[in-house]
Amino acid sequence: MMLNKYPDWISAIVSGIIVGVVYLPVHAGFLIYIGLVPLIHIWLNSDIKTSVKMSFMSAITANFIAFFWMGLNMGTSPIIAFASLIGSVLYLAIFWIINGAVITFLHQRLRIGLIIIPFSWVTMEYFRSFGPMGFPWADLALTQVYYLPLIQTVDITGTAGIAFIICIVNVLIYLSLTEKKSNPFLIGAILIITLVFGFGSWRMNSIEKQLVENDFSVAVIQPNVDPVKKWEKSFRNELVDLMDSLTVEAIKMEPDFILWPESAIPAYLRLSVRFRRPIHQRVKESGIPLLTGTVDLISDINGSHYFNGALLLKPDGSQQIYHKIILVPFAEYIPLSKKFPKLKKLNFGQGNFEHGREYTVFTVGSHRFSNMICYESSFPRLARKFVERGAEFLTIETNDGWSGNSPGAYQHFAIAQLRAVENRVPVVRSANTGISGIISPTGKVLEQMAFYERGVIFGSLSFLSGNWQTVSGDIFSLICILIGIGLVCWEWFKNREMIIGTKD
């Protein structure tokens, strides 16, 4: 067999390379359907110790290739940026190690390693999405966004459904390489992909027919400003003039809503009359509401509380604030620093923000929307909560310039497409630099501005007619977890009864 020709470490690295590459913006997502095959061979034909070592090697390779851009962060020193990359890669490897060990153990004891793989991988992605270090960014579904028909089921199954299909196809490909009669398994793999693609294409067409083009239009501003220079006091007036000129350009397009990026002006806009007044004056004169990213400060008897937020300025002079709920660990806060305040004194170049607590829903005209700030958009549960609370469309404010024109910016934009399909709502995205755009409820990119471009995007939003119900992705994940546990229990009791029967 071809898979037996190479040492385990080569198979592990090959699997890691393939999985890592498919996350890059090279339109090679189809490779993920064979990417796990060498690793599956290791899991099923090695002892637990070898499985752990090879899973670790494969994970390090995959995650380093996929997320090397984390080490390019110009917002901190090169040493800290590289250390954060290494820390992230090692952390993500833990989940691969546990997954590989579980599969190998179950295969050795119960001979169900092959059938448990899809359920085990979904379980891994589910638990990896929780906690202060949660990272659903790495979900396998991200690799399939370039093939829109293949992600059209995420409003039913969540991203877990895509991972499940990917794992099943990898298992079938593995069987086609290891079993004497390979054709049935190969045909099965091709048939599954064809059916999913066909169903997705039909679903896209069906949903597009239900879309109602509204007269509600948006203007998205991308200033393309160096993220480091942006915070220099000497550049502040120039930045204010730039944002004002782009806003004037946007107003001429007569949109119903204007979106600025994350921390568009380096000031506490809600509190700073000097910086807020001219912006709000534009809003009042034009009659067009504007949402801008801003840092915010609240002082009370417990001291000062800093937030990364978004401020909606309305033509009637009122304003409404949203505070970012999910912060980037070690970049926007230090985990556990609320319980141990001394941790805030550690200097990783991070901000010491606090978590927001309110799932804010804004109103502009007759429409309601919610905003996610940068990293938040990678969390499906957050987007769903906003939509469940009445948001008809989602906005994303971000600053993807910290790592330059790297794969991170393209992955982040693809994540926005997943959120649109999951919730079947339009998504409007404004980036300080790359990649701003307007996305339809099918994930189709309607308008887009490339990295390092400066300007204004204009477009109308289309909404699904009637009340569209989406199913929580966690339901599918939990079903997979329960089925996986059920399979293990069934086989364990069956083997136990056989052992007892043999003794009798």
Q: Residue 324 is which amino acid?
A: K
Give the pLDDT band of residue 182 (cuts 50, 70, 90): confident
Give the pLDDT band of residue 402 (cuts 50, 70, 90): confident
> Is residue 207 within 8 Å of 415, Cβ to Cβ?
no
Q: What is the pLDDT of residue 346?
A: 63
- Give the tens place of pLDDT for each residue, 312-327: 999 999 999 999 999 9
Give the pLDDT band of residue 310 (cuts 50, 70, 90): very high
Q: What is the pLDDT of residue 271?
A: 93
The residues pairing with 362 across neighbouring beta strands, listed in sequence order, are 369
Return d(Cα 454, Cα 281) in angstroms, integer. 23
Query: What's the rounded mean pLDDT across residues 98-118?
Result: 96
Q: Is the dihedral of CA 113, 116, 117, 121 positive or negative?
A: negative
> Is residue 106 within 8 Å of 488, Cβ to Cβ?
yes
Give the H or E element holding residue 312. Answer: strand 303-313
Query: What's the rounded mean pLDDT across residues 21-27?
Result: 95
Return d(Cα 10, Cα 84) in angstroms, integer. 27
Given the structure tokens 């997943």, which residue do they identify?
418
Return d(Cα 411, Cα 426) in angstroms, integer. 18
Q: What's the whole-number average pLDDT of the chain? A: 93
Query: What's the rounded mean pLDDT across residues 446-468?
Result: 90
Q: Torsion-angle region of residue 319: left (phi > 0), alpha (psi -120 to 50) or beta?
A: beta
From the list 351, 296, 360, the residue with the least C-alpha distance to 322 is 360
Which of 8-12, 31-35, 51-55, 227-231 shows the lowest mean pLDDT across its residues? 227-231
Q: What is the pLDDT of residue 331?
A: 80
**Domains of the chain, earliest start first:** 2-208+473-503 (no CATH), 211-462 (3.60.110.10)
Strand 393-398 and strand 427-431: the pairing is: parallel
Q: What is the pLDDT of residue 504?
A: 55
Which of 55-64, 93-102, 395-404 shows the lowest mean pLDDT across its residues? 395-404
Query: What's the rounded mean pLDDT across residues 96-116?
Result: 96
Return d(Cα 370, Cα 379) in angstroms, integer. 14
Inform me whether the pLDDT recorded for 208 exceeds 70: yes
From the list 367, 384, 143, 91, the residue with the least C-alpha distance to 256 is 367
From the list 31, 41, 42, 33, the residue with the least C-alpha distance to 65 is 31
Inform me whether the pLDDT recorded for 125 exceeds 80: yes
Q: What is the pLDDT of residue 494?
A: 83
Query: What's the rounded mean pLDDT across residues 144-163?
Result: 96
Return d(Cα 386, Cα 383) in angstroms, integer. 5
- Give the tens place of pLDDT for each residue, 227-276: 888 888 899 999 999 999 999 999 999 999 999 999 999 899 999 999 99
> Is residue 502 within 8 Å of 138, Cβ to Cβ?
no
From the list 43, 81, 42, 88, the residue with the least C-alpha distance to 65 is 88
> Is residue 151 within 8 Å of 418, Cβ to Cβ?
yes
Inform me whether the pLDDT recorded for 343 exceeds 70: no
Q: What is the pLDDT of residue 35?
A: 98
Give the pLDDT band of residue 74 (cuts 50, 70, 90): confident
Query: What's the rounded mean pLDDT across residues 47-73?
Result: 97
Which of 57-61, 134-138, 358-362, 399-403 shows the lowest mean pLDDT across its residues? 399-403
Inform me whether the pLDDT recorded for 345 exceeds 80: no
Inform me whether the pLDDT recorded for 475 exceeds 60: yes
